[in-house]
Amino acid sequence: MQNTLVVRWTIVPTAAPQPIIACSTCGGPRPFRSSDRLRLNANGKKLDAWLIYKCTVCDRTWNRTLFERRNIREIDPATLQALQSNDVQWARRHAFDIEALRRKVPRIETFPESRVRKTVLSQASAWSWIEIVLSVPVQGSLRLDRLLAAELDLSRSRLQALQETGKLKAAPFHKDALRRPARDGSRIVIDVGDLPERAALSGAARGEDG
């Protein structure tokens, strides 16, 4: 649509999920944080890889298995290079992979705090629609309604009302889309043509103060 302000929001979580596991030093369950350090062990042509976590209380380590007894020929060169060089960004992507972490431990503490970078992709001289394209390079737990409420300075009840009246739509469509975590590639379209908050919403969407 030509009368649409299109912006991209890049969501960068600031804290990785922390597994709650028994710490033998503390004597009970404690949250463990990722150290962003990797451990690689070779046994002939077989490799083991771990992501190292530390107890937030005493720094005791826990090695989260990434894979075991994997033939070196089965590992793609980029992954092997990341493991050998202890690539911090590669380690962080795995630290934020909450679904993989859930397969290892039953209890996880998550943190919704994120940084949001806003970029204008296109805009007309006047617009009545705002389209927000989400870029989520590292998946976090921040709910879409919390994200929109914080960044657009709207209450969640107001967001719900806009959705119920068709003024706000999220794609891909889900009945409870606003209560789901913000996902990479998702789009939010808001019809602001006759909304009293039009100017404020336009500025907030673009990342402008005031």
Report the number of distinct structural domains present in the chain: 2
Give DSSP secondary structure letters for 93-130: HHHT-HHHHHTT-S-EE----EEEEEEEEE--SS-SEE
Query: What angle separates helix 88-95 from helix 77-84, to the nearest 10 degrees?
Result: 100
The answer to whether 140 touches 96, Cβ cutoff 8 Å, is yes
| Spatial separation of the C-alpha atoms in residues 199 and 176, rounded to whole Å | 27
Asked whether residue 102 falls in the same domain as residue 173, the answer is: no
pLDDT of residue 13: 84
Last residue of a domain, one of 81, 109, 137: 109
Asked whether residue 105 falls in the same domain as residue 116, the answer is: no
Question: Residue 1: CA atoms inside 13 Å, Cβ hemisphere, count?
Answer: 13
Last residue of a domain, one of 50, 84, 109: 109
Asked whether residue 130 falls in the same domain as residue 79, the answer is: no
pLDDT of residue 69: 94
Asked whether residue 51 falls in the same domain as residue 120, the answer is: no
Domain of 77, in residue numbers: 20-109
pLDDT of residue 185: 94
Quote the tokens at residue 178: 């606003």
What is the edge-to-edge ordering of all strands in the sheet holding 114-122? Answer: 114-122, 4-13, 129-135, 187-191, 168-171
In this prediction the pTM is 0.71
Q: 111, 98, 109, 96: which is closest to 21 by C-alpha?
A: 109
- How many other C-beta atoms are found inside a 10 Å radius of the C-beta of residue 19? 22
3-state secondary structure of 148: helix
Asked whether residue 118 falls in the same domain as residue 84, the answer is: no
| Spatial separation of the C-alpha atoms in residues 121 and 208, rounded to whole Å | 15
Asked whether residue 10 falls in the same domain as residue 50, the answer is: no
Asked whether residue 146 falls in the same domain as residue 200, the answer is: yes
Asked whether residue 85 falls in the same domain as residue 166, the answer is: no
Q: Which residue's entry shows tokens 């989520």?
A: 136
Asked whether residue 30 falls in the same domain as residue 59, the answer is: yes
Tell me the pLDDT of the chain (210 aa) as tens digits.
Answer: 568 999 999 998 888 999 999 999 999 999 999 999 999 999 889 999 999 999 999 999 999 999 999 999 999 999 999 999 999 999 998 998 888 999 999 999 988 788 999 999 998 777 899 999 999 887 777 889 999 999 999 999 999 999 999 999 999 888 888 988 889 999 999 999 899 999 999 999 999 864
Asked whether residue 87 falls in the same domain as residue 25, the answer is: yes
Asked whether residue 98 falls in the same domain as residue 149, the answer is: no
Kindly report, residue by residue over 82-131, the tens digit of the pLDDT.
999 999 999 998 998 888 999 999 999 988 788 999 999 998 777 899 99
Last residue of a domain, one of 109, 142, 164: 109
Asked whether residue 127 falls in the same domain as residue 94, the answer is: no
Quote the tokens at residue 57: 């209380």
